[in-house]
Amino acid sequence: MKARQSGFTLIEVLVAITLMALVSIIAWRGLENVSSQQRRLTEDADENDTVIRMLGQFERDVALRAPDALMASGVNGLNAATGGDGTATGAGTNTGTNTGANTGSTTSGGAPTGTSTGTSGTGTGTGSGVGNTAVNGVPPSLLPQSILVTTSGQPDGPARVEMIRSDAANPGAWQRVVWFQDGTLLRRAVGASARRYPLPPVGPAAVILTGVYRFTVRGWLPGNGWVTTPFPTTGTPFTGLELSVQRLPADGRERYARVVILE
């Protein structure tokens, strides 16, 4: 009688190999999904970090802006308005003297003679009036004198922000800073700092953010709310600025904004 041999049949081995292959495919796809999610989260974190740094840099530039008193003390402000009410003083003096004499004589009954003399007085008047002027005669502006906001191409086009700010690395020195949109790039250009005016022009612009669809700035007017560009040249000063950046990522449009208080 032959002894029975223990083991697996060929069919059983093929079934086991097939099951192991299916489990391996499922596990690999799971690991791939986890890895893909990790890469996406890392990219999103890097993008958010870039946006946060951009918003923080703009807020810092505004916070370090040159004060209006300095801009009005001899340095022409970027946002200085022209015209406006000034101070008028007028003075006039009128002096007049009138003298007349009449003398008459008759031969019939006497010789009456009469003389009359009259003299006018002297008067002097001075009047002055002072209009609505700001520091050192600079008319009041909605924006600080060291900030100029314009639009490119059309009234609702991308914003261009020019500033004069202090150089944190060189106390007492000032420099020019310009923010503008170049296609889908948001750029920031900085000039060399100096202690005397005129300040050097800005240098090459560095890319701050990519994939930008729209770059705008609004001002907060107390009692009226947000005011869009173009801003009026004179009026009640803004108490805040809002920087807004719209982007076009692969999954839709995103908008980032930062409100800066103007103190």
Domain residue limits, the chain: 45-80+135-261
Among 164, 16, 189, 2, which Cα is nearest to 79's?
A: 164
pLDDT above 60: residue 73: yes
Supply the pLDDT for residue 79. Answer: 62
Contact 262, 237 (CB under 8 A): yes
pLDDT above 70: residue 51: yes
Task: Kindly indicate the confidence band of residue 87, based on its pLDDT and cuts at 50, 70 and 90.
Answer: very low
Phi-psi region of 87 (alpha: psi -120 to 50; beta: other; left: phi over 0): beta
Q: Choose between 130 and 196: higher pLDDT.
A: 196
Contact 199, 226 (CB under 8 A): no
Supply the pLDDT for residue 109. Answer: 38
Among 8, 35, 32, 63, which Cα is nearest to 240's?
A: 63
pLDDT above 50: residue 86: no
- Rounded to an integer, what distance in angstroms lies between the CA atom of residue 229 and that of residue 253? 22
- Rounded to an integer, what distance in angstroms lies between the CA atom of residue 214 and that of residue 158? 6
Supply the pLDDT for residue 61. Answer: 96
Supply the pLDDT for residue 37. Answer: 80
Lowest mean pLDDT among 56-60, 69-73, 147-151: 69-73
pLDDT above 80: residue 46: yes
Which uninterrupted H or E stretch holds 39?
helix 10-63
